[in-house]
Chain A
Amino acid sequence: MSGDQAYDELGARLKEFEGRPAAVAGVGKDPVNTAMIRHWCEALGDTNPAYTGPDAVAPPTMLQAWTMGGLTGHRGRAGAYDELLGLLDASGCTSVVATDCEQEYLRPLRPGDEVTFHTVIEEVSARKATRLGTGYFVTTRMEVRVDGEPVGTHRFRVLKYAPAPRAPRTPRPRPVVNRDNAGFWRGVAEHRLLIQRCTACGTLRHPWLPGCNSCGGPDWDTVEASGEGTVHSYVVMHHPPFPAFDPPYAVALIELAEGVRMVSNVVGVPYDKVRIGLPVRLVFRRYDEELTLPVFEAVNR
């Protein structure tokens, strides 16, 4: 549904980071050096003679390694990138995984070269659902320089995501029971759908209210609904998802046979089979230990 993006306020905020610097004039912690080159080659089993001896160059794929912050990080990193990651962390996208790396090497790096780097936040994707979880792809583009001359570029994409292992299911919201509607919920507890009736003029009303809309009378009694009704109107909820609900689902305004209307769910039929005029019948569905609600099933008449 195209509406997905429209609701993604976080995505819109993240998008504003595009073009902002992630590192300005970062300085490599170590100059290019034979020790780190050798450690890399040992780890990766790379025996290329170009990386040893008096004329050694660094393996080009080490480009990013010269810019890494190691255990203590870099000082003076531009605030935008940290701010971006902070927003993602706060939204639950606490995990990160690198997905893409695109490097171009303009000239070999040699021992003694001192690299500086400038990084820009190039792109923040729309929210994506992945196998790992839902999150955002953040692409940065780094230009690496030695003595002010570009020696390579490094485009890097990470997925910052909320891990997929699902939290225990959130219970359905509780009804707010107050003095004015307590009688309705007592009825539900007894599997009776009670409609308020004004004792002055006899008008039925739902939802429950302290006074009559027709005559203003404060006194009332109740009528038990037969449970027959039709769908007067409905919406299908796709987005945004609420933790206790599995979209898509139909929320319907049911017109009871007695003439009053109530908001409920139509259950037992696919959401896309719900139609205006669909005949329905009341059922009480138990959602958890403490919650039973009046909902409606489609009936064939």
Chain B
Amino acid sequence: MRAGDRLPPLEIPVTRTLIVAGAIASRDYQDVHHDPELARQKGTPDIFMNILTTNGLVGRYVTDHFGPTAVLRKVSIRLGAPNHPGDTMVLTGSVEATDGGTAVVRVTGTNGLGTHVTGTVTVTLPAEEATP
């Protein structure tokens, strides 16, 4: 694990099911995350993924890569273009800095509209995995 290391991209099909299931699993019942008609009344073309799901996917992307012993310390994300059903989000990431067993990973998620999410994840790895 070194600064500059790139994580392999992860493609997430943004299905209606993922958006609704993610919203409900995160206890978010805002209508824009499950009701297309009410979403349209609020000026958006369709339902869109809630921020908690995006946050969870960013965390998953990093732990998928570093393995089950990796521990998330911080996840900071900013949302841009919404994730609507039928789109695909591609997560990419690179190690921005390392300090002992801790890495700061820069993550970007792009979809058909542009950048859905940019974020920074701080993750700690157990000692034996931190030093290759």
Which residues of chain A have a CB within 8 Å of any CB of chain B?
36, 39-40, 42-46, 48-50, 59-62, 64-65, 68-71, 95, 97-105, 108, 132-133, 163-165
Contact = CB atoms under 8 A, between A and B. Distances in A.
B71 A40 contact: no
Contacts of A108: 71
B75 A61 contact: yes
Main secondary structure of the interface of A (DSSP, over half): mixed
28 contacts: A40-B26, A42-B21, A43-B22, A44-B25, A45-B60, A48-B60, A48-B64, A48-B68, A50-B68, A50-B69, A60-B59, A60-B71, A60-B72, A60-B75, A61-B55, A61-B59, A61-B72, A62-B56, A64-B55, A65-B27, A68-B26, A68-B27, A98-B79, A101-B55, A101-B77, A102-B76, A108-B71, A164-B43
Interface in B85-116: none
Interface of B: 12, 18, 21-22, 24-29, 42-43, 50-53, 55-60, 63-64, 68-69, 71-79
B52 A65 contact: yes
B79 A42 contact: no
Given A64-B26, A65-B26, A101-B76, 16 more contacts: A42-B21, A43-B21, A44-B56, A48-B63, A60-B75, A62-B26, A65-B25, A65-B52, A69-B27, A71-B29, A98-B79, A100-B78, A101-B75, A102-B76, A103-B75, A132-B43
Contacts of B56: 40, 44, 46, 59, 61-62
Contact of A43 (B53, B59, B75, B76): B53
A164 B72 CA distance: 38
B21 A100 contact: no
A44 B29 contact: no
B65 to A, nearest CB: 11
Contacts of A105: 71-74
